[in-house]
Structure 1
Amino acid sequence: MRWFETPDFNFIKAHKIGYVISGILLVAALIGIFTKGLQYGIDFKGGKEFVLEFDEPIEVVELRSALSEPLGSTPVVKRFGSPQDVLIRTDNPGEISEVQNTILEVVNQQYGQNKATVIKTDIVGARFAEDLKRGAMNAIIFALVVIFIYILIRFKNWTFSAGAVAALFHDVLIVVGVFTIFGEIAPFSMQIDQAIIAAFLTIVGYSLNDTVVVFDRIRENSLLYKTMDYDKMVNKSLNDTLSRTVITSVTTLFVVTVLFIFGGEVLKGFSFALMLGVIIGTYSSLFVASSMVVELKRRKENA
């Protein structure tokens, strides 16, 4: 950690390299999204829902694994109230009675004497799924708009708002691209569902926190070093906050990595999104947001 005691890295000089890296990642993400399409979970594309009551509690991970092959895809399986009740949600296209019979056959083979009774069935319609999809998209857009206004009010400079929102959009789009491109080959579910949308919003919050810390230091240094060249002053601000940025990122990454390894199958997609978000969010705070502020200020002065 001696590198971070008195750091003197030239982040602004390396911003063109950052633009190239970001450009490649963004283009790859957009190509994946437009060619393969987003891999939506059952929440966003509709499906069938069953609630089973067992005589004795069972392991939901075990049941999910047993149902994956007969149903043709990995279903959502989780506790529903009491330890004996289990919610099963699947996108199997068959008739609801056929799907129910398939589930009961697997349950009877897997658990034998632990009898299961279907106490509720439901269909998650396409219209409801579309409403959820629209609501999730509106939540992300609303968050970005509010963040733009918040940064504008706090720093009284639209270049800071534009830099922050560009970095956040950059972070979320790259994570969505990774989930789209690698969704079919990953050893765990990378479908976009409500949990992943929650992860996206968490990434926005984490990345924004990092960016605001840097922007605060830029504002302080702009008052302390009024005669210093703006590029050098921004670079000094990045170096001043580097220790805090790295320590926060490493400790957060450690926690979400533990969650990814030990959190179970249901949380793997969520925690993996957070892992990507922490890494990309830290990178964007250092190489995207501040570089955008410098670039926009330069263009505003030359206009």
Structure 2
Amino acid sequence: MRLIKLVPDDTNIKFLKFRVPFYAVSVLLILASWAVVFTNGLNYGVDFAGGQEVRLTFEGQTEAPIPALREQVGQLGYGDPVIQRFGADNQVSIRVRLPAEAEGVPGAATEIGNQVIASIENSYDNVRQDGNDTVSGKVAGEFRSTALYALLAAMLAISLYIWVRFEWQFGVGALFALFHDVSLTLGMFALFQLEFSLQIIAAILAIIGYSLNDTIVVYDRIRENLKKYRKMPLPELLDLSVNETLARTVMTSLTLLLALIPLLFFGPASLFGLTAAITLGIFVGTYSSVYMAAPILIWLGVSSDSFVPQESVADAQDRKARGEV
């Protein structure tokens, strides 16, 4: 039985032939994404915008009914709640976003928490209230700052690793590709006003990891071919390297999409933002590895001598003494 090959072994696609227009489009998309972010802003969830937190214990049950609670609280009109276990299996923390009209009104936030508690007590017996507190905007701001620092630290650490592992040009190329992927993801959330929460930070970190993995595979093949084909023009060598890794790239992306697309259309609403971010990240991460990370090496001055060990002065003198010059 013959195996089905989505990508033939002898592909010879001239990816870098259109590197200039593709780069121009990518730069425009990055600028447009940040323009939308600064114009529309991000639709921060409870984690980043503050809200009301209610802590409850379901004393009559061994485990809190989190899926049912998420649906029930979501029907109260305060957006998608953030519900997590808090301590034992029958203890939960429920956070809802405060509406704009409740800000600055004494007692409004507590009243919203009481509505959440009353709704749950009407549906479940033996529910104990453990807390009804307001999550301040200051705390939410600290969450935003910490999340931003985590993203920046991840991108810089990755670039530093690639710099040490390959050459500094490769580190710059990987950093630009990652910046492209993160920018387009943020632009999508700002454009469609999808809720931006800690889940999305996790999704962006996953996108960075996937894009990096794909980029390193391409870079490793480029490095091997630079040593093997010393006289080949760099654009042709980059095309060769991308084509040689194309089958792996396509199969990896399709495998992930087979799991993500059903979850995107038929999964729970609470996971829609996370799934949408990673799905977009698969596309832009694959694209950036081919059209961002590889072509930039030409403009950064990578040549066929980049990975050839440089002869020291002592080695040159020794070779000259042996009459090999």
- Structure-2-length-normalised TM-score: 0.82
**2:160 is matched with which residue?**
149
> Does the aligned pair in 2 maintain the 1:64–1:75 contact within 8 Å?
yes
Q: Does 1:164 align with 2:170?
A: no
Give the superposition deviation at 1:28.
2.7
* Distance in 2 between residues matched to 1:4 and 1:295, nearest whole Å: 30
Opposite residue 201 of structure 1, the aligned amino acid is L
Give the superposition deviation at 1:207.
0.3
Aligned equivalent of 2:97, options 68, 91, 97: 91
Greater helix fraction, Structure 1 or Structure 2: 1
**Structure 1 segments unaligned to the other structure (5+ residues):** 184-189
* Distance in 1 between residues matched to 2:242 and 2:153, nearest whole Å: 29
**1:229-276 deviations in Å (ceiling 9; x for gaps):** 111011100101101111111112222334445653332221221111
Identity %: 36
Q: Does 1:106 align with 2:119?
A: yes
Aligned equivalent of 2:135, options 104, 112, 124: 124
Opposite residue 146 of structure 2, the aligned amino acid is G
Cα gap change, 1:181 to 1:193, in 2 (>3 Å):
same
Q: Secondary structure at the match of 1:289?
A: coil
> Does the aligned pair in 2 maintain the 1:71–1:99 contact within 8 Å?
no
* Distance in 1 between residues matched to 2:86 and 2:24, nearest whole Å: 48
Q: Does 1:40 align with 2:44?
A: yes
Greater mean alpha carbon deviation, residues 167-176 or residues 244-253:
244-253
Q: Does 1:214 align with 2:218?
A: yes
* Distance in 1 between residues matched to 2:45 and 2:144, nearest whole Å: 10
**1:194-226 deviations in Å (ceiling 9; x for gaps):** 111111111111101100110111110011100
Give the superposition deviation at 1:60.
3.0
* Distance in 2 between residues matched to 1:144 and 1:77, nearest whole Å: 30
The alignment's C-alpha RMSD in Å is: 2.2
* Distance in 1 between residues matched to 2:67 and 2:254, nearest whole Å: 30
**1:256-301 deviations in Å (ceiling 9; x for gaps):** 33444565333222122111111110011011110111222279xx
**1:10-36 deviations in Å (ceiling 9; x for gaps):** 011121232243234223312210111
> Does the aligned pair in 2 maintain the 1:42–1:89 contact within 8 Å?
yes
Aligned equivalent of 1:73, options 73, 79, 83: 79
> Does the aligned pair in 2 maintain the 1:71–1:90 contact within 8 Å?
no
**1:186 is matched with which residue?**
none
- Structure-1-length-normalised TM-score: 0.87
Greater mean alpha carbon deviation, residues 244-253 or residues 255-264:
255-264
Opposite residue 117 of structure 2, the aligned amino acid is L
Give the superposition deviation at 1:122.
2.9
Greater mean alpha carbon deviation, residues 77-86 or residues 194-203:
77-86
Give the superposition deviation at 1:74.
2.3
Cα gap change, 1:241 to 1:131, in 2 (>3 Å):
same
Give the superposition deviation at 1:182.
0.8
Cα gap change, 1:297 to 1:95, in 2 (>3 Å):
same
